[in-house]
Each structure stands twice: as structure tokens, then as C-alpha cells.
Amino acid sequence: MHDAPIIMLGGFHLDLSAVMMLLVSMLIVFVICRLAVANLSVENPSKMQNFMEWVVEFVQGIVGSTMSLKKGRPFISLGLTLILFIFVSNLLGLPLGVITEAHKPEMVFGKVIEATATLKDGEHAHILWWKSPTADIAVTAGLALVVFILMNYLGIKNNRKHYFKHYLEPFPIFLPLNIIENVSKPIALAIRLFANIFAGEVLIAVIIKMGYLGIPFMGIWQGFSIFVGALQAYIFTILTMVYISQYAIHEEEH
Amino acid sequence: MQVLWENIVITMLAFGILYWLLNKFAFGKLFEVMEKRRELVLGQLEEAKQTREQANAYVEEQKEALSQARQEAYEIIEQSKQSSSKQARDLLEQAKQDATRLKNEAIRDIENERSKAVEALRGEIGTFSVNIASKLIEREVENNPEEQEKLVNQYLKEVGSKS
């Protein structure tokens, strides 16, 4: 099992790998978006602009399929950020992983890495530096928590009456069940995303152990992982929109 | 595998920052331009529709004008055909009349000339015959006084009976 490069900083655990990978993901997403909007043109769009517009239209489709596009307009940028961030995060761990082997307590920024602090002679620890940030359950939980807070906040703010009423439906006795349903949503989101990506990376590690024999499997699995990464980003985004529309948007029909 | 609550918080912060950055520096402009592009496309579609309608109307107009022109041309040809045939007929008529008139005139002229010539000839013949006759009579009278006598008497008789 690989360990995370965690250092203690002012009483807090700081997962350097998670921080770095989050920063890398953010940077890639931000650079892509900036490149896409660098030469915006109304009449003669560049390829990047066309690509970005395709992504925006894709997200508009997702939002439009769960709620009316008029009410969903503010959530398009949220959906865009989610899908781009998760997709890029999912792919980051595919091409490479950076693992260091530590035989003695290693120091980073003047702090000792926790996993190596208690190493004795002959023992060693594998420190995983480069991975998909979404292969860490804490990261996916953070994303899911954002969705959880957002959907409940929007529900209470925009749709108070129906939001509270829905906890007592169809009968008041269902209240605990409804609360569990509410809480289970972010947990399901977090675990689904984490498990898919983490399993992908574990399998990549396993295939690497096969040596040269594993090269065709590696090709197949990398391709499939790209598909899984895109699919998970799509699922996360569409579920977010479904939840938000469930809680925050009260359609007149029902 | 440990779940660090710090990571959860860091992720939420990171996501919030990314959302804010993208919203501020990328999506606003992108949405604006997309909206403009949508309007542009709509406008162009509308324009194309109008242009097509205009073109249709124009083609219709042109067709009408063409058929009208064809009709006019047909009429003109028809008219000119009629007028030319009439003119030809007129010309022919005129020519015929002229010819007849000329012929008549010629005939009359010929007649005149002939009668004049005949008249002149007749006059001359009369003079000649009188001359010949007087010469013959002179010679007869000189040769034959009896005859002369007879002739004078006859003349006198004739003159007497006439007056």
C-alpha cells in the first residue's frame, strides 16, 4: 500500500500530494479555459473556442435535461467547473504515477513526512506523489460536500416551503428515511467517483507488475479508464443537477 | 487509507477558487460571445430567409417581365408581319396601277403619233398626187386640145351644178 506524503503543519495534516494534484488540476482546467477564451470571436471562432462551446452546450444539455434551462442558467458554470475539474482530475493519474521509496524519515519543507517518521532500518515506505486527485476519498468527499451544501442551501433559500415539506412526505413517519436519503446522496457521489478512479489506478499498478506481458492490457485499460473518467465526470455533474433541481427548483407541474 | 478532514476542506476551497476564477476570467466572456454567436446565427438565418424570399419574388417578377416581353415581341412581330404584307400589297397595287396607267398613256401616245403620222402622210400624199395630177393634166391638155375642151366643160358643169 502506498502512503500519502502527509506533513504536520501547525497542527493540521497537510497531504502534499492532494494539494499538489488539486493545484495541477485547477491549473490545467484554468489554462484550458483561458486558452479557449483567449481569442474569442463572434464570426470566426477558433478550434479551441468551438471545443469550449461544445462543452458548454453539452453541460447546457445536462442542465436542460434536469430542469428548465431558464431556471438552470446559473448552474451552467457550476456544471462546467465540475465536469472539467473532475474529468481532468480523473485523467491525471492515467499516464504516470510518481512514487518514491523512503528508507528513512524524509523531510519536506522542513517537516517530516508522517509515513516515514517511524521507519526503522530495513523498513521502507512507498510515498505516492502523483495520482488522480479523485482517487482520494477525501477529495471526492469534498466535492460531494460542496454539492450537498449547495443543494440544501439552494433548497432552503429558493424553495423553502417545499423543501421542508418534502421531508414529511408521503407521511411524517418517513422523516428519518428522508434525512437518510438526503445524506446518502453526497456519500454515494463521493464513493462512486473515488471507487471508480481508485480502482482504475490500482489496476494500472497491478498491470505494471505484469511487466512486458501487460502492455496490451495496459493499452486497453488506459483507454477504458479515459472512458470511465469521462463517464464519472458526466455522472457526477448530472447527479448534481438532478439533486439541485430536486431540492431547489419547484416546477409548477407537480 | 485514512480520510483527512483537512483534505476535504482543501478540496472544497480549491473547487470554490476554481469556480470563482473560471467565472471571473473565462465563462463570463465565453457565455457572452456564445450568446452573440447565437444571435448572429439567428440573424443570419433570418437574413437568409429574407434574402431567399426576396430572390423568389425577384425571380417571379423577372418571369413575369420575361413573359410580358415575349408577348410584346410576339405582338410586334405579328404587327410587323401584318403591316409588311399590307405594305407589299399596297406596293403591288400601286405598281399595277402605275403600270396600267403607263400602258394606257403609251397606247394613247402611240395612237396619237400614228394618227398624226397618218394625217401628215395623207396631206403629203394629197399634195404629191395633186402635183402629179396637175403635171399629167398639163401634159394631156397640151397634147390634146379636145380633151382639154371636154375637161374644162366638165369642170364648168360641175362648178355650175354645185353652186
Whether residues B23 and A33 touch (CB distance < 8 A) is answered with no
Mean pLDDT comparison of A153-167, A201-215, B111-125, B134-148, highest-scoring range: B111-125
**Minimum CA–CA partner of A1 in chain B:** B1
Q: Choose from A37, A48, A58 for mutation: most chain B CBs within 10 A.
A: A37
ipTM of this predicted complex?
Answer: 0.83
For range A226-234, the mean pLDDT: 92
Whether residues A143 and B19 touch (CB distance < 8 A) is answered with no
pLDDT at B66 over 90: yes
Comparing A14-23, A144-153, B66-75, B89-98, which segment has the lowest mean pLDDT?
A14-23
Identify the pLDDT of residue A232.
Answer: 92
Identify the pLDDT of residue A110.
Answer: 67
Distances (CA, A) of A82 to A8, A77, A144, A147, A244: 30, 8, 10, 10, 14
pLDDT at A233 over 80: yes
* Chain B residues touching residue A237 (CB < 8 angstroms): none
Distances (CA, A) of A233 to A116, A173, B18: 34, 36, 16
- Does the pTM exceed 0.90? no
Taking the CA of residue B55 and the nearest CA in chain A, the distance in Å comes to 25
Provide the residue ranges of all domains of chain B, joining segments of one domain with +: 5-162
Identify the pLDDT of residue A247.
Answer: 83
Of the candidates A80, A31, A84, A85, the residue with the CA atom closest to the CA atom of residue A60: A80
Residue A251 has which C-alpha cell?
416546477
pLDDT at B22 over 90: no
pLDDT at A236 over 60: yes
Identify the pLDDT of residue B108.
Answer: 94
